[in-house]
Amino acid sequence: MTVVRGPDLQVAATLLDAALADAMAVIVKAGFAQAQRHRAKAIAAALDPMIEELAAYFEGMAARVLPSIAKARQLSWDVDDVDWPDEERRLRQVIGRWYAELSQDAYAGASTELAVDVPWDSDKPGVQAVLDTLGRQVKSITDQSRARLQAQLTVAIDRGYSIDQLVRGVEADSFGGLRALVQGWASTPTGLAGSRAALIAVTETATAYNGSTLAAYRDSGVVEQVQVFDGAGCGWRTHDDEDKADGSLRSLDEATEHPIAHPRCRRAFGPVTGGGEPPEEPPTSGVPINEGSRAFVEKRTKAAWDRIHEVWSEDYPTLDELHDAVSAKMRELTAKAKVRVRVDEDALGSILEDGRFKTQFETGTSEGALNPELRDQIENFYFGYEDTPGEDRPIYGYVAGQGDEWTTQQYGEVIVQLDDDIRDRTSVSFFDSLDAYRGTGTIFEQGQELMPSPLNDPSWQSAMPWEPDQLYGSILQFEDLRELPAYAEAQIHGGVAVDDIEQVIFTGAEPSAEIKAALKEAGISWSWDPVFVEPRRR
C-alpha cells in the first residue's frame, strides 16, 4: 500500500478540490435551465392572485378613505387624516405572505440548481434581510400613495374646487379626482394588467424571488459570485445607469443590494461556483436567433412601437420600460404553457411509423401554407438557416394553456402535446411568422412585423406592434393566451421525435384501432375529447 505524505498530500488535496470544483460547475450549468423554469413558474403562479389581492386592498382603501373626505367641510381635509400606519399594516399582510412563499420557492430552486440541499428557515439572516426589504417596500408604496393624494389635494386647493369636486373630479378641467385616482390603483379601463396593483405585484415578486435566490446562494457555501441576466439596455442600479447589467459578474453583496433595477425589471441571476465558469447564457442555447435580423426588425418597428408608447407613456415613462413590461407579460403568459402541434390522424400515423415529425421540405405537404421558397427565406432571416437539409429545419406548432387555441383547428383535429424539455429549444412569435415576415400579410402596415425569441425568455420583439385602436390592441391587455387574436406560434429546433411526445388528444372522431395500437406500442398516453377546444375568451 502506498502512503501519501507531506507535500504529496497537499498536491492530492489540491487536485481533489479542483476536480470537485469542476464537477460542481458542470452540475450548476446543467441545473441552471431547470432553475430558471422554476423561477418563471413560481412568479407566474404568484402574480395573478397577488394582483387580485392588491386590487382588493386598493378598493378597500377607497372605501376607507373617500367617505371621510366627502364628509369634510370645504377643503379642511388633510392627507394625514388617513390612518397610514393601518394602511401599512394591511398592505404588509397582502404582500408579506407572497414574500414568504416566493422566498421558499427560491430556496427550492437554488437547491435544484446547485444540487445542494439549502433549507429555508425564516430565522436565517438572509431570509430576514429579504423580509426587512418587504418592510421598506411597503413603506415606500404607502408614501407614494400619500404623495399622490397630496398632489391631487394641492391642485384642488389651487383651483378652488369644492370637496365634492376633489372627490368626483372635474371632467372639463381633465381633473380625475381622488375617487378615480384610488380606484384606478386597483384597475384600469383595460383591466388589471395596466394597474398600479399589477405594477406592484410584478416588481415585488421579482424582488422577493431574486433576493431569496441570492440568500440561498450565500447559504449554500459554494457560490462565489453571480452572473446577471437582464434586458440588453438595462443599467445596474437604475434602468438608465451607464453600468450595464446583462452578462456582468457581480459579488453576492453587490447583487443583494440591487436585486432589480426598476419596476417590472426582468433581472435574474446565475451562480458562479469554485469552478470559475458562469452559465454562458440563459437556458435558450438551443434556439438559433439571427441577431442581425433582430436589429433590423427593431429598427423597422421603432415608429410603430413609438406610437404604442404614446398611449402607454403614463404607465411606462420610457420606451424601454414599455418593452420590459411587454416582455414580462409574455413570460407571464407562457410560463406554464405547453408546446403543441396539430396534425390529422393520417399524419400522426406517419409520425409514429417514422419515429419523428417531418418538415414540408421533406413531405412536400402542409396543412398551412405550402411555400418552401418563402419558408426558406423566412427561416434564413429569423434563424440563419441557409442551405439546410429539410430534416434539420424547424417543426412548427403553437403555445397553449389548459384549453386549446381556437385558431389552430385548421391544422388538424389531433393535438400532439410535447414534453416540457422541448421548451429549451423552442422559439415563439405572438403571431404567425409567415404572415408577419416583413409585413407579407395583407393586414399589415409598414413596420409591423416581429422577431421570434426563445420561449424560455420571450422578448417584446416577438409581439406584433399593434396600435391600441387597431384590430386587437396591445398584448398588455391580455390575461390568457386564448385572448390573443391569433395563436402564439412555436418554432421547434433540433427535430421532434416520438420520444418527445407527452400525450395525444383527439378532438374529432374517435381514433382508429390502428392508431390506438401504435400509440400503445410507443408508450404514449392519449385521450378522446371532442370538446377540448375552448371558445375564444375575448
Rounded Cα distance, 282 and 429, in Å: 18
pLDDT in tens, 82-103: 899 999 999 999 999 999 999 9
Rounded Cα distance, 150 and 389, in Å: 66
Does the pLDDT value for residue 466 go beyond 60? yes
pLDDT at 278: 53
pLDDT at 219: 94
pLDDT at 538: 45
- Residue type at 311 in one-letter notation: V
pLDDT at 113: 84
- Residue type at 252 in one-letter notation: L
* Residue whose grid cell is 377540448: 532
232 touches 256 (CB < 8 A): no
pLDDT in tens, 282-294: 444 467 776 667 7
pLDDT at 437: 67
Does the pLDDT value for residue 60 go beyond 80? yes
pLDDT tier, 434 (very low <50, low <70, confident <90, very high otherwise): confident
Mean pLDDT of 507-531: 87
CA diameter of the chain = 98
Does the pLDDT value for residue 368 go beyond 70? no
Mean pLDDT of 496-518: 90
Does the pLDDT value for residue 255 go beyond 90? yes
Q: Which residue has the higher pLDDT, 9 or 69?
A: 69
Helix segments in 230-371, DSSP class H: 252-257, 291-300, 302-312, 319-334, 345-354, 360-363
pLDDT at 11: 45
Of 165-169, 430-434, 528-532, the least confident: 528-532
Q: How many residues does the chain have?
A: 538
Does the pLDDT value for residue 189 go beyond 60? no
Q: Which residue has the higher pLDDT, 401 or 468?
A: 401
Most confident of 115-119, 288-292, 465-469, 527-531: 115-119
Q: Which residue has the higher pLDDT, 447 or 135?
A: 135
The domains of the chain are located at 45-221, 222-276, 291-528
Residue 534 CB contacts under 8 Å (≥ 6 apart), including other chains: 403, 404, 406, 482
Q: What is the mean pLDDT of the chain?
A: 79
Residues forming beta bridges with residue 429, ordered by sequence position: 489
Rounded Cα distance, 187 and 190, in Å: 8
pLDDT at 24: 44
Rounded Cα distance, 486 and 536, in Å: 10
For residue 421, what is the DSSP state? G
On the CB side of 230, CA atoms within 13 Å amount to 32
CA terminus-to-terminus distance, the chain:
77
pLDDT at 254: 95
Of 271-280, 441-450, 496-505, the least confident: 441-450
Does the pLDDT value for residue 123 go beyond 80? yes
Q: Which residue has the higher pLDDT, 75 or 260?
A: 260
Handedness of CA 334, 335, 337, 339 (dihedral sign): positive
Q: Which residue has the higher pLDDT, 461 or 381?
A: 461
pLDDT at 365: 66
Mean pLDDT of 488-503: 90
Q: What percent of the chain has pLDDT over 70?
A: 76
Of 74-88, 111-125, 191-205, 312-326, the least confident: 191-205
Handedness of CA 49, 55, 60, 61 (dihedral sign): positive
Does the pLDDT value for residue 141 go beyond 90? yes
Mean pLDDT of 508-519: 90
Q: Strand 525-528 to strand 501-506: parallel, antiparallel, or no bridges (unpaired)?
A: parallel
For residue 28, the Cα-to-chain-centroid distance in whole angstroms is 22
Residue 507 CB contacts under 8 Å (≥ 6 apart), including other chains: 404, 409, 413, 414, 415, 529, 530, 532, 533
Does the pLDDT value for residue 18 go beyond 60? no
